[in-house]
Amino acid sequence: MNGAEALIKALEAEGTKVIFGYPGGVLVSFYESLCDSNMIHILTRHEQAAAHMADGYARVSGKAGVCIGTSGPGATNLVTGVATAHMDSSPVIALTGQVSSNIIGDDAFQEIDSFGIFMPITKHNFQIRQADDLVDIMRKAHEIATTGRPGPVHVDMPSDILTGELSKAVKIPADINISSYKPTTVGHPLQIKKTLEAIMNSKKPLILAGGGVSIAHASEELLEFAELLNIPVCTTLMGKGCISEKHELSTGLTGMHGTHASNNLIDKCDLLIAVGCRFSDRVTGKVSEFAPNAKVIHMDIDPAEIGKNVSVDIPIVGDAKRILQDLIKQLKKQKRKHEELSTSENTLENSNSKFLDISEWSDEVKKLKEESEKELSVTAEEKQKTKETKETKEEEKIEKIEKIHPKVAIYDLMEAIYDIDPELENTYVTTDVGQNQMWMARYFKFKKDALITSGGLGTMGFGFPAALGVKFAKPKANVISISGDGGFLMNSQELATMAHYDIPVVAVIFNNRALGMVHQLQSVLNNRQSQIDLGETPDFIQLAHSYGVMAERVSNSKDLKETLKKAILMNKPYVIEVMIDSGYAVKVVAPGANLTKMIEPENKEPCSEKILFKDMVSKL
Amino acid sequence: MDKRHIITVLVLHKPSVLQRISGLFARRWFNISSITVGTTENPDIARMTIVVKGDDTHLEQVLKQLNKLVEVVKVKDLKHNNYVERELCIVKIHAPTESGKSQITQYANIFRGSIVDLSAETITVEITGDESKINAFLDLVRPLGIKEVARTGLTALMRGSKILKSNKK
Ligand SMILES: Cc1ncc(C[n+]2csc(CCOP(=O)(O)OP(=O)(O)O)c2C)c(N)n1
């Protein structure tokens, strides 16, 4: 058996069902052996997309997602996708071919130090030096990628190792002992005890839930914990939906684009219980003014996250699910004891009856939430603002194009999706990066952790290929990707992949003909516009049609809802281009500012002053 | 306040481990004052001694980030001067005259260094000790004219019967 065959066996043993990749010279033996396997291979049109698909697959399936690229440019094209997975703790196995080991270091054709390049953007990486190690390393790679704090693992495989014969029969190790890798999963009992004490002593507790809750599949426990104590819950972008945002304890997103309620609650709380979040700068705003009145409890599987950005009073290292289960158990015990005491007539303190009395705080939360709701809901005026503008399409023809207010568009999407799947049990939504992402984060209420987005690296071009990957993890689910026009164009070549395999995903493009988020940032920071105008190319409908994908352009609210419903129910590859009012900005906390100081950037159209090549020539 | 910390790291003795560790320091802007690597009593394990400067939060991050690396078996910050530290220094000193040579030999004796090479123009001294001892010696001979210095960087072990063992088993 040669290395490539052993690799296939090893992947099959890991339960790999699908590989996203792109072949090349050094991978010929791998692709040849793949013919004898039942695993599916999806030929993407770019390796970056292969990595995003594997990432999308991993985030939803709970298993590792596998992608592969050839040596040199194949490997470097994977980089952005792998780095994206790294920042969001997604278990991706990235395989790269490498030139033959006898010419490594000679700057051979398509040689690149992919081992060195991937080192800082993976949880761990390997370069295989003998064919006999392949199977063990593949086991280790999966173990490392999927346990503890998950993350991508890269394996670089010189071509002669793939073609070389193994000296012994392949034996897939069931368990692998990596002596130096032992993640802690159980929370320390003393810290748990301290946490309970801190909770009982608090008047204004708040839970901050991050992506770690979803990764640990701890949503149910989080809800039970919050409900037992009646503590409000705000989330980070990655934690969005880990508690239903329709639940009365949910206060919505926090941070730079957070809700009025969440950001103010962080400012006011006296106890912040952070679960599976890493306090990124997008969440904290000005760190020195973050949660100024609070004792901080931080539960995380990665000890290095604790105390990294925010100083912590009670650290608990471990798996969020385990820790929450432990806390719930103890809380229930305490509650029972408390109830017994307060009902027994003999006790002296039977009048002091509440388990944890935070009713004043709950009233405050309610008030803040009401204010948030006002701001988050669509006003009649905004609905009206769906406006008509004139645009010059071709030389002489003047077309009237209506545009939808982005908030209205999100509500339309939300209504359409909830009409089809009221409990959101069978739906996943990916977003790209930009205003589209933040509109979704602010206005779309998720009932479960169904949002797949690039929170850490903020990678434009992520959403659409990730959605294709999600569909392989949940073939029966409705999968919808939301992108801006800029981000969609960064991986629009995957329309070919979608069409070729007939993958039923609905790609919604919010076309504001601008790099909206940068436009907004410019107006917050210095109010000068530069290089954010994407102009009117391309015609997304024609673009989709050219790949054989059905497509429709909508420019009013009613059409959007109906078209999205139709596309989802049709269960076919579908592109919906939504004409968006480009002059609308989302409320933000300016970078590095205090969370309670949200500003509303000036609503401005991007200037569409276009300079043509012929006019630039004089400057060249 | 920035303090000097000596960190001992036991790592799997594998290719590229040093790259992984130095890469970690570079990318997170942890400054290395000195780093030494060598084999240990166990052929599968290498020992690194890393000297860094920074406050306590900085140190905590350094330790935690190092600990996260899959090939790192054990990390320990050697505290409270409860350790033995040594550095090896070889210094070539300008010594064209007999009197200069005997003067340097005398200094070397006082510092328990030894003469390891001699030429008409120079004398080369080997000296081991902690950083401050070596600095003191170099200060002493500097006026005579130091031609070249090679220092190994610091290595250290805890005092007493305590040893550094993997707790990750
Ligand atoms: C690969 C990449 N390049 C650049 C950026 C910086 N960036 C963040 S948002 C944004 C604008 C996105 O524009 P668009 O995709 O049209 O979405 P919109 O903000 O208009 O919704 C840019 C350029 C990025 N996040 N990713």
Instruction: Identify the residue among A87, A146, A180, A305 best suited for mutation to test binding to B, counting B beta carbons within 10 A and taking the highest.
Output: A180
* Candidate from B11, B19, B71 with C-beta closest to A116: B19
Taking the CA of residue A288 and the nearest CA in chain B, the distance in Å comes to 15
3-class SS letters over B68-118: HCCCEEEEEEECCCCEEEEEEEEEEEECCCHHHHHHHHHHHHHCCCEEEEE
Give the Cα separation of B112 and B89 in Å (integer): 12
CA A469 – ligand 1 centroid, Å: 21
Taking the CA of residue A146 and the nearest CA in chain B, the distance in Å comes to 14
- Give the residues surrounding ligand 1 with Cβ less than 6 Å away: A 432-436, 458-461, 484-487, 510, 512, 514-518
Taking the CA of residue A98 and the nearest CA in chain B, the distance in Å comes to 17
Evaluate whether A185 touches A146 at the Cβ level (below 8 Å).
no
* Sign of the alpha-carbon dihedral angle for A567, A568, A572, A573: positive
At A573, is the secondary structure helix, strand, or coil? coil
Quick one: DSSP state of residue A423? T
Token code pair at residue A426? 């069978």
Give the Cα separation of A398 and B16 in Å (integer): 63
Evaluate whether A136 touches A176 at the Cβ level (below 8 Å).
yes
Evaluate whether A581 touches A387 at the Cβ level (below 8 Å).
yes
Global pTM exceeds 0.90: yes
DSSP bridge pairs for A451: A429
* Candidate from A115, A179, A182 with C-beta closest to B16: A115
Strand (E) or helix (H) holding A540: helix A540-546
Taking the CA of residue B163 and the nearest CA in chain A, the distance in Å comes to 17
Nearest CA to ligand 1 atom 4: A460
Query: pLDDT at position A391, please?
Result: 53
Per-residue pLDDT at A175 exceeds 90? no
Q: How many CB pairs under 8 A join A and B?
A: 48
pLDDT digits (tens, 9 = 90+) for A79-97: 999 999 999 999 999 999 9
Average pLDDT over residues A245-274: 97
Query: pLDDT at position A577, please?
Result: 97
At A192, is the secondary structure helix, strand, or coil? helix
CA A515 – ligand 1 centroid, Å: 6
Using alpha carbons only, give the angle A167, A172, A174 rounded to the nearest 5 degrees: 145
Give the Cα separation of A582 and A357 in Å (integer): 47
Greater pLDDT, B161 or A149: A149
Q: Which of A517, A519, A524, A581 to mutate to test ligand 1, by most ligand atoms within 8 A of the CB atom? A: A517
Give the Cα separation of A104 and A184 in Å (integer): 38
What is the atom index within ligand 1 of the atom nearest the CA of A520?
19
Token code pair at residue B15? 């290719």
Q: How confident is the model at residue B108 (pLDDT cuts 50, 70, 90)?
A: very high
pLDDT digits (tens, 9 = 90+) for B44-79: 999 999 999 999 999 999 999 999 999 999 999 998
At B133, is the secondary structure helix, strand, or coil? helix
Give the Cα separation of A608 and A392 in Å (integer): 12
Q: How confident is the model at residue B1 (pLDDT cuts 50, 70, 90)?
A: confident
DSSP A313-381: SEEEES-HHHHHHHHHHHHHHHHHHHHHHHH-TT-TTTTS--SS--HHHHHHHHHHHHHHHHHHSPPHH
CA A116 – ligand 1 centroid, Å: 28
Closest residue of A to B10, CA-based? A180
Q: Tell me which chain A residues have a C-beta less than 8 angstroms from the C-beta of B60.
A: 307
Average pLDDT over residues A463-477: 98
Token code pair at residue A569? 């129910």
pLDDT digits (tens, 9 = 90+) for A336-355: 988 888 776 555 554 445 68
Per-residue pLDDT at A388 exceeds 80? no
* Sign of the alpha-carbon dihedral angle for A183, A63, A114, A488: negative
Q: Tell me which chain B residues have a C-beta less than 8 angstroms from the C-beta of A311.
A: 57
Evaluate whether A430 touches A364 at the Cβ level (below 8 Å).
no
pLDDT digits (tens, 9 = 90+) for A549-563: 999 999 998 899 999
At B123, is the secondary structure helix, strand, or coil? strand
Placement of tokens 């968006």 in the chain: A580
Token code pair at residue A173? 């190790």
Counts of helices then strands in chain B (DSSP H, E):
4, 9
Evaluate whether A221 touches A321 at the Cβ level (below 8 Å).
yes
Query: pLDDT at position B164, please?
Result: 87
pLDDT digits (tens, 9 = 90+) for A592-619: 999 999 988 877 787 767 788 999 999 9
Hey, how many other C-beta atoms are within 10 angstroms of the C-beta on A160?
18
Q: Of A471, A496, A493, whose CA–CA distance to A481 is shortest?
A: A471
- Interface contact A180, partner B, CB < 8 A: yes
Mean of the per-residue pLDDT values for chain A? Answer: 93
Query: pLDDT at position A447, please?
Result: 96
CA A519 – ligand 1 centroid, Å: 10
* Candidate from A116, A123, A180 with C-beta closest to B168: A180
CA A485 – ligand 1 centroid, Å: 9
Per-residue pLDDT at B2 exceeds 90? no
Token code pair at residue A334? 């305490």
Give the Cα separation of A3 and A21 in Å (integer): 18
Evaluate whether A508 touches A563 at the Cβ level (below 8 Å).
no
Nearest CA to ligand 1 atom 1: A460
At A569, is the secondary structure helix, strand, or coil? helix
A378 φ, ψ (degrees, to nearest 5): -85, 125
Strand (E) or helix (H) holding A265: helix A260-268
Window A:60-119, CB contacts with B under 8 Å: 115-116, 119
A293 φ, ψ (degrees, to nearest 5): -105, 5
- Interface contact B42, partner A, CB < 8 A: no
Give the Cα separation of B4 and A287 in Å (integer): 26
At A609, is the secondary structure helix, strand, or coil? coil
- Interface contact B80, partner A, CB < 8 A: no
At B39, is the secondary structure helix, strand, or coil? strand
Give the Cα separation of A592 and B55 in Å (integer): 23
pLDDT digits (tens, 9 = 90+) for A193-233: 999 999 999 999 999 999 999 999 999 999 999 999 999 99
Average pLDDT over residues A254-260: 96
Taking the CA of residue A139 and the nearest CA in chain B, the distance in Å comes to 14
* Candidate from B12, B27, B61 with C-beta closest to A304: B61
- Interface contact B64, partner A, CB < 8 A: yes
Identity of the amino acid at A387: K
Q: Tell me which chain B residues have a C-beta less than 8 angstroms from the C-beta of A302.
A: 68
Average pLDDT over residues A45-56: 98
Q: Tell me which chain A residues have a C-beta less than 8 angstroms from the C-beta of B72.
A: 180
* Candidate from A119, A179, A302 with C-beta closest to B20: A119
Q: Of B167, B168, B156, B161, whose CA–CA distance to B38 is shortest?
A: B156
Partner-chain contact A303 B64, CB within 8 Å: yes
Per-residue pLDDT at A394 exceeds 70? no
pLDDT digits (tens, 9 = 90+) for A99-151: 999 999 999 999 999 999 999 999 999 999 999 999 999 999 999 999 999 99
Window A:117-176, CB contacts with B under 8 Å: 119-120, 123-124, 127, 144
A501 φ, ψ (degrees, to nearest 5): -95, 0
- Interface contact B70, partner A, CB < 8 A: yes
DSSP bridge pairs for A33: none
Average pLDDT over residues A34-52: 98
Give the Cα separation of B128 and B134 in Å (integer): 7
ipTM of the complex: 0.92
CA distances from A533 to A63, A511, A513, A530 (A): 40, 12, 6, 8
Within 8 A by CB and 6+ apart from B166, the residues are A179, A180, B10, B73, B74
Window A:294-313, CB contacts with B under 8 Å: 302-304, 306-308, 311
Give the Cα separation of A589 and A600 in Å (integer): 9
Give the Cα separation of A59 and A214 in Å (integer): 9
DSSP bridge pairs for B54: B3
Token code pair at residue A171? 């034996």
- A9-31 residues labelled b (16+ CB within 10 A) or e (exposed): bbbebbebbbbbbbbbebbbbbb
CA distances from A516 to A197, A483, A501, A533, A605 (A): 47, 11, 32, 9, 10
Partner-chain contact A123 B61, CB within 8 Å: no
Evaluate whether A53 touches A65 at the Cβ level (below 8 Å).
yes
Token code pair at residue B5? 């910390």
- Interface contact B136, partner A, CB < 8 A: no
Give the Cα separation of B159 and A576 in Å (integer): 70
Q: How confident is the model at residue A48 (pLDDT cuts 50, 70, 90)?
A: very high
- Interface contact B166, partner A, CB < 8 A: yes
Nearest CA to ligand 1 atom 9: A434
Token code pair at residue A179? 């002596």
Nearest CA to ligand 1 atom 11: A515
Mean of the per-residue pLDDT values for chain B? Answer: 94
Token code pair at residue A264? 């103010």
Give the Cα separation of A133 and A156 in Å (integer): 12
Closest residue of A to B166, CA-based? A180
Evaluate whether A336 touches A219 at the Cβ level (below 8 Å).
no
Taking the CA of residue B11 and the nearest CA in chain A, the distance in Å comes to 8
